Chains A and B, each alone.
Chain A
Amino acid sequence: MLDAGAAHPGRTAFHHLESLARSNGIGKARVKAVLEKVGLESVAHKRLGGFSLGMRQRLGIAGALLGDPAVILLDEPVNGLDASGIRWIRSTLRSLAAEGRTVLLSSHLMSEMALTVDHVLIIGRGRLLKATSMEEMRDRFARDVLVRTPRAGELATILTGLGASVTSDGGEELVVVGVDAVTIGGAAAAAAIPLHGLTPRAATLEDVYLELTNDAAEYRAAPEKAA
């Protein structure tokens, strides 16, 4: 599915799909089935001109499902959708994957993809820069651990002794790099230091993407000059 909005506004949803289906020898029963699958059966005979963007996205997915494909390729499927539309797309794509299909999404919406997908392929200037699972990426690109304790100075000294790099805001918060949350928790417990917070912070998909595509970016805004 490349462009969900690419449909004649004067045609009904059913006729739009029927014309695509019939050109591939697919019958009306399948058209009805995919309309039901994407929840558009009640508006199947309404003209597309009155469809919202979300409804058009559903129609686009219905069109992609007509041939019952094993691989589904969708380009920017959540662009312009509201929260409920995004949630619907996410659950639909997951259910399609659960049926045994491979669902390949192309998107620039990193935060949304981080919530939706299992595997990530990062492409820059036509080259594959990274192919990894989301889980692996979370582990590999773990950033730091945020620690909140009333005895920040003592804990910082202990953690530095364990080889960690610790920065402090002068108050109760420490940002620790180089050891994981389990080690920090253990060290604090051993020294009877109370912890009010222990938060491992991973790099976001956006951070990783920007880091990996730094050299591959085609257009870049000029850095703002200090006043």
Chain B
Amino acid sequence: MTMTTLQEPTLQEKPTVPRVIDSVSPTSGTRVFRDTVAGEWIKLRTLRSTYAFLVGGLGATMLGSLILYLLIQSYDKATAADKGNFETADPSVVSIPFVMFFVGSIGAMLITSEFTTRSIGPGLLAVPQRRLLLGAKATVAGTAALLAGLFFASLSFASAKMLVGDRPAPINPWPVWTDALPKVFCATIIVMVTTIVAVGLGTWFRSTASTLVTLGSLLLVAPAFAHFLPTVWQLRFGSILLPNLIPQLAGSNHPYVLSQGGAVAVTVGYLVLALGAGTISFVRRDVS
């Protein structure tokens, strides 16, 4: 290999010495993190996939409302005896898992797109502190997911409440509007947690396909798989799945087994496990 240099030429007039821009001078940790977050925010909002997945989330919400509409139509035509056997018109079962997948995919793409396009290289040149970079990505993805989750959860629950109207339980689980608020809040939190978990998974796998398949398996396949387990294990296994943490966090754990505190612990466990694995992978493995 040959390393070659261009030397400063001998000039009559001294050239302007390149200045170091003030804003890139050593700064506080908070400032560095804030700048990194700002950079990651630009990356997130300039990825086309971000908008595609948001449209997917909206589609899932609208599809969920359509399914609930059909359920209520069916309910209205049912006999009084059959009406007691209807499921509740709860979007946390019908549409929120799909919203979790679509919004979570935004978090996954924030990191996997950099590995697949090799733009992680310039990213690490700009911010060599890997923990800080991953933390900024998780912060940006989590914040975006919090906003998107709040929007989709509010839309899902509001449309469900409008559709179900004043019908009695069990199809209407919320006699008044405000009864749905704990679930809206918990669904929002779980959408955010799922997205941060997706960032961790993406950092570990470094592949969009692997990450989205794993995310889809966790959110959509595992709950279906749980139905085939013996009842005891069905409930135990089902209780720790991300979509099923929503009712448990909201304090209505039927039919699952976790208390509210237990649900919080499992939720935190997901974050620690995914981000921990992602951090270890990001810090220890070479990116080239």
CB pair B5 A209 closer than 8 Å:
no
Quick check: which of B8-16, B88-96, B206-214, B251-259 contacts chain A, the rest being far away?
A: B8-16
Which residue in B5, B17, B47 is a CB contact (below 8 Å) of A100? B17
Shortest B188–chain A CB gap in Å is 27
Most interface-central of B3, B7, B31 (chain A CB within 10 A): B3
Chain A interface main SS type: mixed
CB pair B36 A23 closer than 8 Å:
yes
Tally of A interface residues using CB under 8 Å:
56
A110→B4 CA distance, assembly (Å): 10
Q: Chain B 1-43, CB within 8 Å of chain A: the 1/0 string?
A: 1111111110100111111110110010001000110111011
Which residue in B1, B24, B120, B123 is a CB contact (below 8 Å) of A108? B1
* Nearest residue, chain A, Cβ from B39: A23
* Nearest residue, chain A, Cβ from B1: A123
CB pair B117 A9 closer than 8 Å:
yes
By a CB distance below 8 angstroms, the chain B residues around A99 are 15-16, 18
By a CB distance below 8 angstroms, the chain B residues around A26 are 21, 23-24
Q: A19-B46, A23-B38, A100-B17 are contacts. A119–B5 as well, Cβ < 8 Å?
A: yes
Q: A10-B47, A20-B126 are contacts. A121–B8 as well, Cβ < 8 Å?
A: no
* Nearest residue, chain A, Cβ from B114: A8
Shortest A150–chain B CB gap in Å is 42
CB pair B8 A6 closer than 8 Å:
no
By a CB distance below 8 angstroms, the chain A residues around B19 are 68
By a CB distance below 8 angstroms, the chain A residues around B20 are 67-70
Chain A residues 81-136 with CB under 8 Å of chain B are 93-94, 96-108, 110, 113, 116-124
Which residue in B3, B11, B18, B125 is a CB contact (below 8 Å) of A121? B3
By a CB distance below 8 angstroms, the chain A residues around B27 are 25
CB pair B2 A113 closer than 8 Å:
yes
CB pair B21 A67 closer than 8 Å:
yes
In the assembled complex, A194 has its CB within 8 A of some CB on chain B:
no
By a CB distance below 8 angstroms, the chain B residues around A8 are 47, 113-114, 117, 119
CB pair A104 B5 closer than 8 Å:
yes
Q: Chain B 36-56, CB within 8 Å of chain A: the 1/0 string?
A: 101110110011110000000
In the assembled complex, B127 has its CB within 8 A of some CB on chain A:
yes
Shortest A108–chain B CB gap in Å is 7
CB pair B6 A22 closer than 8 Å:
no
By a CB distance below 8 angstroms, the chain B residues around A94 are 6
In the assembled complex, A42 has its CB within 8 A of some CB on chain B:
no
By a CB distance below 8 angstroms, the chain B residues around A10 are 46-49
Q: Chain A 4-34, CB within 8 Å of chain B: the 1/0 string?
A: 0111111110011011111111110010000
* Nearest residue, chain A, Cβ from B47: A10
CB pair B121 A6 closer than 8 Å:
yes
In the assembled complex, A55 has its CB within 8 A of some CB on chain B:
no
In the assembled complex, B230 has its CB within 8 A of some CB on chain A:
no
CB pair B3 A25 closer than 8 Å:
no
By a CB distance below 8 angstroms, the chain A residues around B4 are 104-107, 113, 116-117, 119-121
Most interface-central of B35, B49, B136 (chain A CB within 10 A): B35
A27→B46 CA distance, assembly (Å): 17
CB pair B118 A103 closer than 8 Å:
no
Q: Chain B 91-121, CB within 8 Å of chain A: the 1/0 string?
A: 0000000000000000000000110011111
CB pair B24 A24 closer than 8 Å:
yes
By a CB distance below 8 angstroms, the chain B residues around A16 are 119
A103→B18 CA distance, assembly (Å): 12
Which residue in B2, B6, B39 is a CB contact (below 8 Å) of A205? B2
In the assembled complex, A207 has its CB within 8 A of some CB on chain B:
no
CB pair B118 A25 closer than 8 Å:
no
Which residue in B9, B35, B42, B122 is a CB contact (below 8 Å) of A25? B35
In the assembled complex, A63 has its CB within 8 A of some CB on chain B:
yes
A98→B113 CA distance, assembly (Å): 38
* Nearest residue, chain A, Cβ from B23: A25
By a CB distance below 8 angstroms, the chain B residues around A123 are 1-3
Given A6-B118, A24-B35, list of 11 further CB < 8 A pairs?
A: A25-B23, A68-B19, A69-B18, A98-B11, A99-B18, A106-B1, A107-B4, A119-B4, A119-B5, A120-B2, A123-B3
30 contacts between A and B (CB under 8 A): A2-B122, A7-B122, A8-B119, A10-B49, A15-B46, A19-B43, A20-B122, A23-B35, A23-B136, A24-B39, A24-B126, A26-B23, A94-B6, A96-B6, A97-B7, A98-B9, A100-B18, A102-B7, A103-B5, A103-B6, A104-B3, A106-B1, A117-B4, A118-B5, A118-B7, A120-B4, A121-B4, A121-B5, A122-B2, A124-B1
Using a CB–CB distance below 8 Å, which chain B residues touch chain A? Answer: 1-9, 11, 14-21, 23-24, 27, 31, 35-36, 38-40, 42-43, 46-49, 113-114, 117-123, 125-127, 136
